[in-house]
């Protein structure tokens, strides 16, 4: 008796001439079959659904200078674009360790890199938080020659409504990089005190309307990103009627929404605490002469990186550190607007 053939499944249909919902963008979500469609999207300065455009690739390679036979670490693997470029430089004879906390995207990225021919001898992938990379040292021969940490949230996470990272589409109010660990943003709003919520809006996002937003959001049972966004808009509408001309309200409301979602995401993932732990153990992870590049997207992150590198240089831990902040070129920012907030710093182990 033969197995019955699986029923044919038709792709998601959409109204109009262009798909708008994430799951309707079947061409963008299948880049192997629809390379021409992907190119058109990228040529418009947009990021295809389900993909991530690596930022500052040339600058990172120039700073890290990975050499064949060396051992590297990609501390935040994400879509794997940077890892792919670093791996090519480490071959032949080198090895890259790559870690990420996201249980949904990590297997997909590993499969893509394995498909390029990188076996277990060349590429070691671990699901773990980058604050714990010191645990890899015995397997890595005691240290890394090159280390990259990209602190940004990947486009795959932002664009997929099911992950709950953006107010632009309706989805569960989650915001966790690892949905199986910790409390969601929805649970946070129910349990946090008003004072703590005000503080984290200020500390994590420099939110100027933190007092009003904390009063409105604290203790609310909000299940979806749309519910949160609507309550933010409603709250600010009352504030802005008294303080702001009408023609400025739309743009400022959008900025406040971005800040609110950012502040909650940083809190539920303990992003500052994780970064502090990584920066504390980083010197132990680098071989003498080892190079590290950290790419951040928030002033709070950049301040921590800058302070750790400068403190390490004064203590003789680092022989040199970035004298100035490095930003993406004008051409890259124009081609990929999501790169505009990128901040790059580097250091060399003494």
b/e per residue, 103-122, with b = 16+ CB within 10 A?
eebbeebbebbeeeebeeeb
CA 232 to chain centre: 24
Of the candidates 264, 347, 265, 269, the one whose C-alpha atom is nearest the C-alpha of residue 305 is: 347
DSSP codes of every residue in 310-328 = HHHHHTTSEEEE-SS-B--
pLDDT at 42: 52
Of the candidates 67, 122, 92, the one whose C-alpha atom is nearest the C-alpha of residue 287 is: 67
Per-block mean pLDDT, blocks of 10 residues, the chain (350 long): 52 57 50 55 54 84 97 94 96 97 90 94 96 96 96 75 82 91 94 97 96 97 96 94 83 94 95 96 97 94 96 98 94 85 96
pLDDT at 9: 57
pLDDT at 2: 46
Measured CA distances, 273 to 78, 199, 294, 303 (Å): 20, 16, 16, 13
pLDDT at 186: 96
Distance between CA 215 and CA 245 in Å, rounded? 23
CB atoms within 10 A of CB 90: 22
Name every residue whose Cβ is closer than 8 Å to that of residue 68 and which is 6 or more positions away in sequence: 89, 90, 91, 92, 93, 94
């Amino acid at each position: 008796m033969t197995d019955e053939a699986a029923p044919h499944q038709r792709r998601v249909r959409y109204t109009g001439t262009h798909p708008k919902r994430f799951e309707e963008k079947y061409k963008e979500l299948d880049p192997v079959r629809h390379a021409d469609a992907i190119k058109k999207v990228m040529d418009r300065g947009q990021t295809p659904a389900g993909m991530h455009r690596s930022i500052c690739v040339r600058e990172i390679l120039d700073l890290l200078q990975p050499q064949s036979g060396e051992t590297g670490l990609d501390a935040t693997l994400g879509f794997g674009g940077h890892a792919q470029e670093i791996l090519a430089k480490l071959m032949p004879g080198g090895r890259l360790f790559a870690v990420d906390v996201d249980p949904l995207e990590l297997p997909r990225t590993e499969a893509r890199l394995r498909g390029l021919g990188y076996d277990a001898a060349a590429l070691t992938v671990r699901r773990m938080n980058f604050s714990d990379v010191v645990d890899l040292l015995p397997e890595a021969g005691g240290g890394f020659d090159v280390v990259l940490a990209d602190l940004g949230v990947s486009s795959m996470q932002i664009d997929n409504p099911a992950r709950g990272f953006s107010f632009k589409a309706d989805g569960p109010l989650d915001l966790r990089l690892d949905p199986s660990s910790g409390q969601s943003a929805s649970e946070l709003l129910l349990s946090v005190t008003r004072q703590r919520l005000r503080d984290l809006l200020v500390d994590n996002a420099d939110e100027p309307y933190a007092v009003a937003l904390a009063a409105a959001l604290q203790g609310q049972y909000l299940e979806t990103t749309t519910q949160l966004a609507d309550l933010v808009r409603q709250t600010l509408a009352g504030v802005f009627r008294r303080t702001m001309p009408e023609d400025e309200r739309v743009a400022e409301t959008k900025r406040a929404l971005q800040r609110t979602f950012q502040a909650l995401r940083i809190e539920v993932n303990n992003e500052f605490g994780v970064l502090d732990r990584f920066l504390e153990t980083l010197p132990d992870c680098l071989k003498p002469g080892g190079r590290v590049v950290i790419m951040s997207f928030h002033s709070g992150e950049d301040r921590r990186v800058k302070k750790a590198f400068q403190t390490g240089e004064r203590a003789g831990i680092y022989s040199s550190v970035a004298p100035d902040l490095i930003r993406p070129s004008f051409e890259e920012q124009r081609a990929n607007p999501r790169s505009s907030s990128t901040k790059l710093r580097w250091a060399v182990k003494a």
